[in-house]
Amino acid sequence: MTRITIDPITRLEGHGRIEIFLSDQGTVENVCFQVPELRGFEQFCVGRMAEEMPVITNRICGICPEAHHLAASKALDALFGTQPPPTAKMLRELLYMAFFVSDHATHFYALGGPDFIVGPDAPPSERNILGVARKLGVEVAGELIACRKRNHEVIRIVGGRGIHPVAGIPGGWSRSISEGERVVIAEAARMNVEFAKQTLALFERIVLDSPLYQDLLTSDVYLHRTYSMGTVDGNNQVNFYDGNIRVIDPDGEELVSYHPNDYCQQIAERVEPWTYLKFPYLKKVGWLGLTDGVNSGLYTATPLSRLNASEGMPTPLANAEYQRMYESFGCRKITAARYQPIHHRMATHWARLIELLYAAERMLALVEDRQITSKETRIIPRSADFAGEGIGSVEAPRGTLTHHYVSDGRGLLTKVNMIVGTTNNHAAIAMSIKRAAEKLITSNAPDEAILNRIEMAFRLYDPCLSCATHHLPGKMPMVVSLRDNSWSMLREIRR
Amino acid sequence: MKSGTVIIGLGNPQLSDDGVGIAVANEIARRSELDDLTLLELNGGGIRLMEAMAGYQRAVVVDAMLTGSEPGTVRRFDPDDFVTTKNSYSSHDTDFGTAFQAGLLLGIPLPELVSFWGVEVLECGVFSEELSDVVAAAVPLAAELIVNELKNSEVMR
């Protein structure tokens, strides 16, 4: 068997490492997507006071501290048996919408989007924010930076600190906002709505009007018919902060809608001997390996899966875009509001922009509600016995995030478990890489094209692979090595 | 208008030696021999790092490094020292060079002087708030080297 390793060598942090195993016939047998292993998180948390978790866990990921902060705060609400007052929930969600706008916008303009904006076969040195600025103009790239800036400021105001928010506490939020702050945030939210609309218009102009990109969007390279997961509100519409977890099957039928507390009954984690990465799957359906279809319990938790699993968006502009996307894929309606699911994974980019618009509209609705400036932002837990369990769940930009804590009577943690957003998608990412590799590895495609298409396969999931995401400019990020049975090097591709 | 110096400690203080950059930044602040100094803690190295420098005349970034040298080794880099492919290191970020160039193109007021300091680490894959002894011992040294350079540099306040 031949083993191909794609190893993004960074000087300071390990990132995803891709290994492709070829059979003796040269066909792709398996794909293994490794992430750097960080050890001892459970031991690090056990014995600590439960209420420290929102500020501990918001440091485990450099990309989505806000998601961890909120999942932890919600787990503590449950653990301490309190329900935050309405204003606290609104403030949490407000912060979260600002985060989603900034995160999703950055993905489109600077990270995954340049594959489209600048072109999938453009040189790597152009497929980034610099290339976007050159292609679309400095003003457009400047809009992204301005968007990030105003939303970082909202996060600082609402969350009490810029990079790692601190306001989340059991039973609520430690900080209220003034009328003056509300006005500032409302202005930011209005600009976000305009920016999101412009971004969708840009996507239409660049991608939807181009036959080349239409082909890419509907290409079967990244087509997988898996289950779709997402958090839904009482109307089964998309919600990022709270609700039931809904799962639909590849044909669009609801498999289950469960309270996040029941995640252990619904989700199992498969351990395979060839990787330490765990693969979550749906218990009800079962494990069939890295394969799709109705009998395989693999699911995705992504912007696309969230839309697939919902009866539309709760805000009007985003809902119109939702309908447009499904209709453009020729999906028929299977309920009054919901369409057949889309399985073309490149559509995740489009779904992400629809979510961007939703987050902006939702942010504006929250900040226009005068209840948001109420000073009642916390209900203090009254119980003196803290023995128990708490589970908190939110939709992180890259998938459903679950925190699960168990504490003793003093409120000291005895057990911690988490399923982070990207973990849900490990199997799906591996499948997309496998498919891309199958199409390309045996062809005579140039090295750069192989790397590009494999990179696009995982980039569309916007995966968060490292819990310590920082790096100085380092060395070469990708090395692919092909080895034969005896581990001798056959070929090496670098860039 | 740009003014002052920002010291950016990069890393995760909960991930063993990965937090060394933040420890060095704190040590520099503790010595407080310099005026007009801002201290920042950051966890991401690309666009966010570029944004964090905006508005300052000078930026000093301190981070953990893994180069294979002796743990505790302190090294200084100029931004140009890095061999970069200009490709994305993380699917979530762009490399610093690209982010910095983009910032300049967009008219963001970025510092004329940027230096990077790395401290070679021993362990950065285990959750712990403690630095390894050998890395902890390098913190005062790194702080002193950086403070000396700042004092001797030609930036006029």
Q: Decide if B78 is inside a domain.
A: yes
Q: Which of B11, B89, B116 has its CB closest to that of A15?
A: B89
pLDDT at A6: 52
pLDDT at A471: 31
Q: Which of B47, B89, B103 has its CB closest to that of A477?
A: B89
pLDDT at A476: 28
Among candidate residues A302, A300, A351, the one with its CA nearest the CA of residue A323 = A351
Among candidate residues A74, A76, A166, A70, the one with its CA nearest the CA of residue A383 = A76
Distance CA A42, CA A60 (A): 12
Q: Residue A481 pLDDT more than 70?
A: no
User: Could you tell me if A494 lies within 8 Å of chain B, comparing CB atoms?
Assistant: no
What's the burial of A194, exposed, middle or buried (CB within 10 Å: 0-12/13-18/19+)?
exposed
Cα distances (angstroms) measured from residue B41 to each of B58, B59, B137: 16, 13, 21
Q: Decide if B50 is inside a domain.
A: yes
Which DSSP category does A60 fall into?
A: S
**Shortest alpha-carbon distance between residue A188 and chain B (Å):** 18
Q: Residue A259 pLDDT more than 90?
A: yes
List CB contacts (< 8 A) between A62 and chain B: 12, 43-44
With an 8 Å Cβ cutoff, are A111 and B44 in contact? no
pLDDT at A479: 42
With an 8 Å Cβ cutoff, are B63 and A472 in contact? yes
- Give percent above pLDDT 70 in chain A: 85
Average pLDDT, chain A: 85
Other beta carbons within 10 angstroms of residue A273's beta carbon come to: 5
∠ at Cα A19 (A457, A106), nearest 5°? Answer: 35
Search chain A and give the residue with CA nearest B100. Answer: A130
Beta strands in A315-473 (DSSP E): 388-396, 399-407, 413-419
Q: Residue A464 pLDDT more than 80?
A: no
Q: How confident is the model at residue A495 (pLDDT cuts 50, 70, 90)?
A: very low
Q: What is the per-residue pLDDT across A407-439, written as a single tens digit (0 to 9) for each? A: 999 999 999 988 888 888 888 888 888 888 777
Q: Residue A175 pLDDT more than 80?
A: yes
pLDDT at A491: 54
Q: Which of A138, A469, A495 has its CB closest to that of B92?
A: A469
Cα distances (angstroms) measured from residue A493 to each of A19, A55, A384: 13, 42, 61
Number of domains chain B is built from:
1
What are the phi and psi torsion angles at A398 (to 5°)? -105, 25
Q: What is the per-residue pLDDT across A81-100, written as a single tens digit (0 to 9) for each? A: 999 999 999 999 999 999 99
Q: Residue A267 pLDDT more than 70?
A: yes
Helix (H), strand (E) counts: chain A: 16, 16
What's the burial of A34, exposed, middle or buried (CB within 10 Å: 0-12/13-18/19+)?
middle
Q: How confident is the model at residue A455 (pLDDT cuts 50, 70, 90)?
A: confident
Q: Which of B65, B97, B124 has its CB closest to that of A468?
A: B124
Q: Are B27 and B143 in contact (CB under 8 A)?
A: yes
Q: Decide if B95 is inside a domain.
A: yes
**Shortest alpha-carbon distance between residue A82 and chain B (Å):** 29
Q: Which of B86, B107, B125 has its CB closest to that of A37?
A: B125
What's the burial of B55, exposed, middle or buried (CB within 10 Å: 0-12/13-18/19+)?
middle
List CB contacts (< 8 A) between B14 and chain A: 44, 56, 59-60
Distance CA B98, CA B74 (A): 25
pLDDT at A293: 95
Q: Which of B77, B88, B92 has its CB closest to that of A128?
A: B88
**Shortest alpha-carbon distance between residue A110 and chain B (Å):** 7
Distance CA A279, CA A295 (A): 16
Q: Residue A36 pLDDT more than 70?
A: no
- By three-state DSSP, how is residue A400 classified? strand
List CB contacts (< 8 A) between B99 and chain A: 129
Determine the residue type at A66. E
Q: Lowest-confidence range among A357-366, A445-454, A456-465?
A: A445-454
Angle between helices A65-79 and A86-106 (to 10 degrees): 160
Among candidate residues B5, B16, B2, the one with its CA nearest the CA of residue B119 = B16
Domain spans, chain A = 2-36+425-494, 224-343
Q: Residue A11 pLDDT more than 60?
A: no
Q: Residue A153 pLDDT more than 70?
A: yes
pLDDT at A322: 98
Q: How confident is the model at residue A494 (pLDDT cuts 50, 70, 90)?
A: very low
Q: Which of A12, A133, A464 has its CB closest to that of B65?
A: A12
List CB contacts (< 8 A) between B16 and chain A: none
pTM of the model: 0.90
List CB contacts (< 8 A) between B124 and chain A: 468
With an 8 Å Cβ cutoff, are A125 and B86 in contact? yes
Q: Are A391 and A404 in contact (CB under 8 A)?
A: yes
User: Could you tell me if A239 lies within 8 Å of chain B, comparing CB atoms?
Assistant: no
Average pLDDT, chain B: 85
Size of interface A-B (CB pairs under 8 A): 172
Burial A159-178 (b: 16+ CB within 10 A, else e): bbeebbbebbbbbbbebbbe
Among candidate residues A401, A319, A326, the one with its CA nearest the CA of residue A355 = A319
Distance CA A371, CA A360 (A): 19
Distance CA A249, CA A292 (A): 11
Q: Decide if B157 is inside a domain.
A: no
pLDDT at A130: 84
CA B105 to chain centre: 23
More confident residue, A115 or B86: A115
Q: Please give the structure tokens belonging to residue A426.
A: 């490990």
Q: What is the per-residue pLDDT across A469-478, written as a single tens digit (0 to 9) for each? A: 333 332 223 4
More confident residue, A5 or B156: A5
pLDDT at B152: 83
With an 8 Å Cβ cutoff, are B102 and A467 in contact? no
Q: Are A401 and A394 in contact (CB under 8 A)?
A: yes
User: Could you tell me if A41 lies within 8 Å of chain B, comparing CB atoms?
Assistant: yes
Q: Residue A37 pLDDT more than 90?
A: no
Distance CA A240, CA A315 (A): 13
Search chain B and give the residue with CA nearest A133. Answer: B102
Search chain B and give the residue with CA nearest A55. Answer: B14
Other beta carbons within 10 angstroms of residue B41's beta carbon come to: 21
Among candidate residues A395, A232, A394, A398, the one with its CA nearest the CA of residue A310 = A232
What does the CA dihedral B18, B20, B21, B22 come to, rounded to 10 degrees?
A: 100
List CB contacts (< 8 A) between A37 and chain B: 125
Q: How confident is the model at residue A447 (pLDDT cuts 50, 70, 90)?
A: low
Tokens 């995640």 -> residue: A263
Q: What is the per-residue pLDDT across B110-145, written as a single tens digit (0 to 9) for each? A: 999 999 999 999 988 788 999 999 999 999 999 999
More confident residue, B60 or A420: B60
With an 8 Å Cβ cutoff, are A145 and B125 in contact? no
Q: Decide if B102 is inside a domain.
A: yes
**Shortest alpha-carbon distance between residue B124 and chain A (Å):** 8
With an 8 Å Cβ cutoff, are A15 and B86 in contact? no
- Which of A 427-466 lie inside 8 A of B, CB atoms? 455, 458-459, 462-466
**Shortest alpha-carbon distance between residue A101 and chain B (Å):** 15
Determine the residue type at A14. G
Interface probe for A, chosen from B127, B128, B135 (most Cβ of A below 10 Å), is: B127
pLDDT at A14: 36
**Shortest alpha-carbon distance between residue A296 and chain B (Å):** 28
Parent domain of B66 = 5-152
Determine the residue type at A357. L
List CB contacts (< 8 A) between A128 and chain B: 86-88, 94, 98, 102
Q: What is the per-residue pLDDT across A119-144, written as a single tens digit (0 to 9) for each? A: 877 776 777 788 888 888 999 999 99
Distance CA A431, CA A221 (A): 10
**Shortest alpha-carbon distance between residue A8 and chain B (Å):** 7
pLDDT at A69: 96
More confident residue, A215 or A80: A80
Interface probe for A, chosen from B49, B53, B89 (most Cβ of A below 10 Å), is: B89
* Residue B12: CATH number of its domain: 3.40.50.1450
Q: What is the per-residue pLDDT across B2-48, written as a single tens digit (0 to 9) for each? A: 889 999 998 889 889 989 999 999 999 988 777 789 999 988 778 88
